[in-house]
Protein backbone atom coordinates (compact mmCIF):
# COMPACT_ATOMS: atom_id res chain seq x y z
CA UNK A 1 0.00 0.00 0.00
CA UNK A 2 1.21 3.49 -0.84
CA UNK A 3 2.45 5.82 1.87
CA UNK A 4 0.99 8.91 0.23
CA UNK A 5 0.00 10.52 -3.06
CA UNK A 6 1.93 12.78 -5.39
CA UNK A 7 -0.01 15.07 -7.73
CA UNK A 8 0.99 15.20 -11.37
CA UNK A 9 -0.24 18.44 -12.90
CA UNK A 10 -0.06 19.72 -16.45
CA UNK A 11 -2.05 20.66 -19.52
CA UNK A 12 -4.98 18.60 -20.77
CA UNK A 13 -3.65 18.71 -24.35
CA UNK A 14 0.08 18.21 -24.73
CA UNK A 15 2.80 17.24 -27.19
CA UNK A 16 4.00 13.67 -27.61
CA UNK A 17 7.28 14.68 -25.93
CA UNK A 18 5.47 16.07 -22.88
CA UNK A 19 3.22 13.00 -22.74
CA UNK A 20 6.25 10.69 -22.76
CA UNK A 21 7.79 12.65 -19.89
CA UNK A 22 4.53 12.47 -17.91
CA UNK A 23 4.21 8.76 -18.57
CA UNK A 24 7.71 8.16 -17.23
CA UNK A 25 6.93 10.25 -14.14
CA UNK A 26 3.78 8.20 -13.51
CA UNK A 27 5.65 4.93 -13.97
CA UNK A 28 8.43 5.95 -11.59
CA UNK A 29 5.94 7.14 -8.96
CA UNK A 30 4.10 3.82 -9.13
CA UNK A 31 7.38 1.91 -8.84
CA UNK A 32 8.05 3.90 -5.66
CA UNK A 33 4.68 2.77 -4.27
CA UNK A 34 3.09 6.21 -4.47
CA UNK A 35 -0.50 6.93 -5.57
CA UNK A 36 -0.75 9.29 -8.54
CA UNK A 37 -3.43 11.95 -8.09
CA UNK A 38 -4.40 14.32 -10.88
CA UNK A 39 -7.29 16.17 -12.48
CA UNK A 40 -8.38 12.93 -14.15
CA UNK A 41 -8.66 14.15 -17.74
CA UNK A 42 -6.35 13.93 -20.79
CA UNK A 43 -2.92 15.16 -21.78
CA UNK A 44 -0.35 15.13 -18.98
CA UNK A 45 -2.90 13.66 -16.57
CA UNK A 46 -3.74 10.71 -18.81
CA UNK A 47 -0.10 10.04 -19.70
CA UNK A 48 0.98 10.02 -16.03
CA UNK A 49 -1.85 7.64 -15.16
CA UNK A 50 -1.01 5.39 -18.12
CA UNK A 51 2.57 5.14 -16.85
CA UNK A 52 1.42 4.46 -13.29
CA UNK A 53 -0.98 1.72 -14.40
CA UNK A 54 1.70 0.10 -16.60
CA UNK A 55 3.83 -0.22 -13.45
CA UNK A 56 0.98 -1.63 -11.36
CA UNK A 57 0.25 1.62 -9.54
CA UNK A 58 -2.95 3.26 -8.33
CA UNK A 59 -4.45 6.45 -9.68
CA UNK A 60 -7.00 8.99 -8.48
CA UNK A 61 -8.66 11.55 -10.72
CA UNK A 62 -10.36 14.56 -9.18
CA UNK A 63 -12.69 15.59 -11.97
CA UNK A 64 -14.01 19.08 -12.67
CA UNK A 65 -17.39 17.94 -13.97
CA UNK A 66 -20.37 15.85 -12.98
CA UNK A 67 -19.62 12.53 -14.68
CA UNK A 68 -17.16 9.83 -13.66
CA UNK A 69 -17.25 8.69 -17.29
CA UNK A 70 -15.22 11.82 -18.18
CA UNK A 71 -12.17 10.31 -16.46
CA UNK A 72 -9.33 9.02 -18.59
CA UNK A 73 -9.23 5.21 -18.92
CA UNK A 74 -6.30 4.86 -16.50
CA UNK A 75 -8.09 6.30 -13.46
CA UNK A 76 -8.82 3.80 -10.66
CA UNK A 77 -10.82 6.16 -8.48
CA UNK A 78 -12.76 8.98 -10.14
CA UNK A 79 -13.91 11.70 -7.76
CA UNK A 80 -16.67 13.79 -9.32
CA UNK A 81 -16.73 17.34 -7.97
CA UNK A 82 -18.87 19.50 -10.26
CA UNK A 83 -16.48 22.29 -9.20
CA UNK A 84 -14.84 23.13 -12.53
CA UNK A 85 -11.36 24.59 -12.11
CA UNK A 86 -11.99 25.06 -8.37
CA UNK A 87 -11.26 21.34 -8.07
CA UNK A 88 -7.57 22.24 -8.47
CA UNK A 89 -7.35 22.93 -4.75
CA UNK A 90 -8.55 19.35 -4.06
CA UNK A 91 -5.89 17.93 -6.37
CA UNK A 92 -3.04 19.61 -4.51
CA UNK A 93 -4.56 19.21 -1.02
CA UNK A 94 -4.75 15.45 -1.68
CA UNK A 95 -1.02 15.15 -2.34
CA UNK A 96 2.16 15.35 -0.29
CA UNK A 97 3.91 17.09 -3.21
CA UNK A 98 3.25 17.99 -6.84
CA UNK A 99 5.14 17.51 -10.07
CA UNK A 100 4.26 20.11 -12.72
CA UNK A 101 4.97 19.03 -16.29
CA UNK A 102 4.57 21.75 -18.89
CA UNK A 103 1.31 23.48 -18.23
CA UNK A 104 -0.95 26.39 -18.93
CA UNK A 105 -2.96 28.61 -16.60
CA UNK A 106 -4.76 25.71 -14.87
CA UNK A 107 -1.36 24.22 -14.02
CA UNK A 108 -0.17 27.62 -12.84
CA UNK A 109 -3.15 27.82 -10.48
CA UNK A 110 -2.30 24.38 -9.06
CA UNK A 111 1.35 25.39 -8.62
CA UNK A 112 0.29 28.55 -6.76
CA UNK A 113 -2.21 26.68 -4.58
CA UNK A 114 0.31 23.98 -3.68
CA UNK A 115 2.99 26.53 -2.76
CA UNK A 116 0.45 28.56 -0.74
CA UNK A 117 -0.43 25.35 1.15
CA UNK A 118 3.24 24.63 1.85
CA UNK A 119 3.41 21.65 -0.52
CA UNK A 120 6.63 21.07 -2.47
CA UNK A 121 6.33 21.57 -6.22
CA UNK A 122 8.84 20.19 -8.70
CA UNK A 123 8.68 21.58 -12.24
CA UNK A 124 9.82 19.93 -15.46
CA UNK A 125 9.64 22.16 -18.54
CA UNK A 126 7.05 24.15 -16.64
CA UNK A 127 6.45 27.67 -15.40
CA UNK A 128 9.25 29.93 -14.18
CA UNK A 129 8.04 31.93 -11.20
CA UNK A 130 9.08 35.49 -10.38
CA UNK A 131 7.97 38.44 -8.30
CA UNK A 132 8.71 42.14 -8.78
CA UNK A 133 11.80 41.52 -6.64
CA UNK A 134 13.11 38.82 -8.97
CA UNK A 135 13.00 35.04 -9.42
CA UNK A 136 10.89 33.04 -6.97
CA UNK A 137 12.53 29.87 -5.68
CA UNK A 138 9.29 28.22 -4.51
CA UNK A 139 9.18 25.68 -7.32
CA UNK A 140 12.12 23.28 -7.55
CA UNK A 141 13.27 22.69 -11.14
CA UNK A 142 14.12 19.24 -12.47
CA UNK A 143 15.62 18.23 -15.79
CA UNK A 144 14.40 14.64 -16.03
CA UNK A 145 11.53 12.46 -14.87
CA UNK A 146 13.89 10.52 -12.61
CA UNK A 147 15.14 13.70 -10.96
CA UNK A 148 11.61 15.06 -10.53
CA UNK A 149 10.36 11.89 -8.86
CA UNK A 150 13.43 11.65 -6.63
CA UNK A 151 12.98 15.26 -5.50
CA UNK A 152 9.22 14.88 -4.99
CA UNK A 153 9.67 11.76 -2.87
CA UNK A 154 12.43 13.31 -0.75
CA UNK A 155 10.50 16.55 -0.17
CA UNK A 156 7.19 14.75 0.49
CA UNK A 157 8.80 12.60 3.19
CA UNK A 158 10.13 15.62 5.13
Residue 16 CB burial class (10 angstroms; 0-12, 13-18, ≥19): exposed
Say what the pLDDT of residue 3 is.
80
Domains observed in the chain: 5-156 (3.40.50.450)
Tens-place pLDDT, residues 52-79: 999 999 999 999 999 999 999 999 999 9
For residue 80, count other CB atoms closer than 10 A to its CB: 18
Q: Do residues 23 and 50 lie in contact, with contact meaning Cβ atoms separated by under 8 Å? A: yes
Rg over CA atoms, the chain: 14
- Report the alpha-carbon distance of residue 57 to residue 15 in Å, rounded: 24
| pLDDT range class, residue 1, cuts 50, 70, 90 | very low
pTM of the model: 0.97
Amino acid sequence: MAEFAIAVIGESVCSAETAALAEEVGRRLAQAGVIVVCGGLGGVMEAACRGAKAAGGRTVGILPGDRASDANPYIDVAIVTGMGEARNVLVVKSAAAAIAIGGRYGTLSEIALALKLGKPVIGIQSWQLATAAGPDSGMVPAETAAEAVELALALARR
